[in-house]
């Protein structure tokens, strides 16, 4: 009885400690770039960028600005051009849909984005942001890094561009440009307040109206300097605008303003953090002389006056045993396909408790292989593990676990001359290097990859096992690099593709993720 009471007291103490522990920056140690945010009542919603992934334009929800959970995606399919379907040798890595703008107006949620891949501006709207359905509209051209803005007089605008920032007016129903509207230059050189020569021009526009004034947030990147938050303000949406540097610390930049129900203000921003991607930060804001003042003495604080994070598992990433009950979604929201999937070539029903990835065409490149199923890696450390049945692979098939980016790592089983081989391919140098293949005669094999993002160490190690208990290292350590061609943090992925004949398949028993490097 005494031990039972002691356990209850210990649990109560842990709960109190968790409630009193402050939040820490980064608030999300994972790739959630180009964030845009709103508050509706006591609930916050955030949209972000996942580019070439499908479904896309993720929507997240929070009650405290720290602990976020996935609630959906604005679209299943951005477009079906060859680059999004990985057909005819084309792909759209690093493109797809870019920075979004999320807004709430008169009972409707709007999320807008733009895409080089489609050449269009895309607008998604819904009355129920958590359940949908989403109404889809699009029009040309593709307005770069735009911010959607509903003004108090009922007019609707987009501000967009890089360096020279422009504005156009939309129809009230957001179906396209308002007839007769003309493009207007709001700020000729928005980078000017940073006092720099050539560098990354000011972009990433997000516009807010507070106490009757307009505040336009942008990012610039002075040559030889760091990512910098710029703010311009005006009494009218048309200007004139006066600008200033709002924050220049650790490269934390690009985002906007959010307030809490009790009157606190924060800036939500992100930071480039190596191979894990672009990770969100919150910066406290106070108001002085009609300007938002970001940070604490001009710096990004390590702690925040907000509840502590309970972790990114299971809200942003999660394990999956591939067992589904009646009514369950086919795939939890943590999963995204690398480009548009070919739905007839994957199944969760053909073998209960398994994800089956089937081949339907020949591919010569891992990057062009369809139906690679992915989810984010997370920092500061994480481990991904899978088990798969490879008994139905055909000659030339290659199936397994990957870390997806341009400089990728692959660990799988490949059939060569009738012999199954465990193979690791390390492209950390920019060119794929194969470790010596290990002949394998079994039916089931286990793979593991661990990632260390501490202090941008950015290394990963791969392991295989024949029993799921005893692990063997394979290949050289992968040096992970964030590359612009892919423009995305590393992702765990499950893959299977054919190089010689179609019709084979791999059955994945589970995928498990931990927020540590497992022993």
What does the H/E/C string look like for 214-252? EEEEEEEEECCCCCEEEEEEECCCCCCCEEEEEECCCCC
Query: Per the structure block, which two tokens stand in for 261?
Result: 């129900």
Contacts by 458-462 with C-beta closer than 8 Å and gap 24+? 458/274, 458/275, 458/276, 460/403, 460/409, 460/490, 462/401, 462/409, 462/411, 462/424
Phi-psi region of 141 (alpha: psi -120 to 50; beta: other; left: phi over 0): beta
In sequence order, what E strands does 43-107 have?
A: 43-47, 53-54, 56-62, 68-75, 101-105
Residues, the chain: 519
b/e sequence 403-439, b meaning 16+ C-beta within 10 Å: bbbbbbbbbbbbbbeeebbbbbbbbbeeeeeebebee
Whether the Cβ atoms of residue 312 and residue 515 lie closer than 8 Å to each other: yes
The HSE-up count of residue 188 (CA atoms within 13 Å, CB side) is 1
**Rounded to whole angstroms, how far apart are CA atoms 101 and 112?**
5
| CB burial of residue 287 (10 Å; 0-12, 13-18, 19+) | exposed
Q: How much is the pLDDT for 224?
A: 83
Q: How much is the pLDDT for 122?
A: 98
pTM of the model as a whole? 0.94
Whether the Cβ atoms of residue 503 and residue 357 lie closer than 8 Å to each other: no
DSSP string covering 288-327: ETTEEEESBTTB--SEEEEEPP--STTTTS--B-----TT
Q: Which residues of the chain have pLDDT under 70?
A: 1-20, 196-199
With CA atoms as reference, report the closest residue to 227 among 257, 274, 271: 271
Structural domains of the chain ordered from first start: 24-307 (2.115.10.20), 336-514 (2.60.120.200)
Q: pLDDT (tens digit, 9 = 90+) per residue, 66-125?
A: 999 999 999 999 999 999 999 999 999 999 999 999 999 999 999 999 999 999 999 999
Q: How much is the pLDDT for 19?
A: 54
């Amino acid at each position: 009885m005494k031990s039972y009471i002691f356990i209850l007291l210990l649990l109560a103490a842990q709960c109190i400690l968790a409630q009193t522990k402050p939040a820490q920056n980064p608030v999300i140690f994972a790739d959630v770039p180009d964030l845009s945010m709103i508050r509706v009542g006591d609930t916050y919603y955030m949209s972000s960028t996942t580019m070439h992934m499908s479904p896309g334009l993720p929507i997240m929800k929070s009650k405290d600005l720290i602990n976020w959970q996935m609630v959906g995606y604005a679209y299943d399919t951005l477009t079906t051009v060859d680059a999004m379907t990985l057909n005819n040798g084309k792909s759209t890595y690093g493109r797809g849909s870019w920075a979004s703008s999320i807004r709430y107006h008169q009972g409707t949620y709007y999320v807008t984005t733009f895409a080089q891949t489609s050449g269009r501006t895309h607008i998604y709207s819904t009355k129920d942001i958590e359940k949908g359905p989403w109404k889809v509209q699009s029009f040309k051209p593709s307005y770069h890094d735009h911010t959607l803005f509903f003004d108090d007089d009922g007019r609707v605008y987009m501000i967009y561009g890089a360096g020279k920032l422009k504005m156009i007016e939309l129809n009230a129903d957001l179906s396209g440009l308002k007839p007769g509207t003309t493009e207007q230059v709001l700020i000729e050189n928005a980078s000017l307040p940073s006092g720099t020569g050539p560098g990354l021009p000011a972009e990433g526009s997000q516009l807010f109206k507070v106490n009757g004034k307009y505040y336009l947030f942008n990012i610039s990147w002075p040559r030889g300097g760091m990512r910098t938050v710029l703010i311009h303000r005006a009494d009218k949406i048309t200007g004139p605008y006066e600008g200033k540097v709002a924050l220049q610390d650790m490269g934390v930049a690009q985002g906007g303003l959010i307030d809490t129900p009790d009157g606190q203000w924060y800036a939500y921003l992100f930071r480039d953090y190596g191979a894990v991607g672009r990770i969100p930060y919150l910066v406290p804001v106070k108001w002085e002389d009609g300007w938002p003042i970001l940070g604490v003495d001009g710096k990004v604080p390590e702690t925040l006056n907000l509840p502590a994070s309970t972790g990114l598992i299971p809200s942003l990433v999660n394990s999956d045993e591939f067992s589904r009950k009646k009514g369950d979604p086919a795939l939890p929201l943590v999963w995204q396909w690398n480009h548009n999937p070919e739905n007839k070539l994957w199944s969760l029903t053909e073998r209960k408790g398994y994800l089956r990835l089937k081949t339907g065409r020949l591919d010569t490149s891992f990057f062009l292989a369809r139906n690679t199923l992915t989810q984010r890696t997370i920092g500061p450390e994480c481990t991904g593990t899978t088990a798969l049945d490879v008994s139905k692979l055909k000659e030339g098939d290659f199936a397994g676990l990957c870390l997806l980016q341009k400089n990728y790592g692959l660990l799988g089983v490949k059939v060569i001359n009738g012999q199954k081989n465990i193979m690791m391919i390390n492209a950390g140098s920019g060119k794929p290097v194969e470790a010596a293949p290990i002949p394998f005669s079994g039916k089931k094999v286990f793979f593991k990859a661990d990632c260390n993002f501490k202090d941008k160490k950015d290394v990963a190690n791969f392991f295989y096992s024949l029993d799921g208990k005893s692990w063997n290292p394979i290949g050289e350590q992968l040096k992970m690099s964030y590359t612009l061609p892919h423009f995305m943090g590393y992702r765990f992925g499950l893959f299977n593709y054919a190089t010689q004949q179609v019709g084979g398949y791999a059955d994945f028993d589970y995928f498990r993720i931990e927020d540590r490097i497992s022993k």
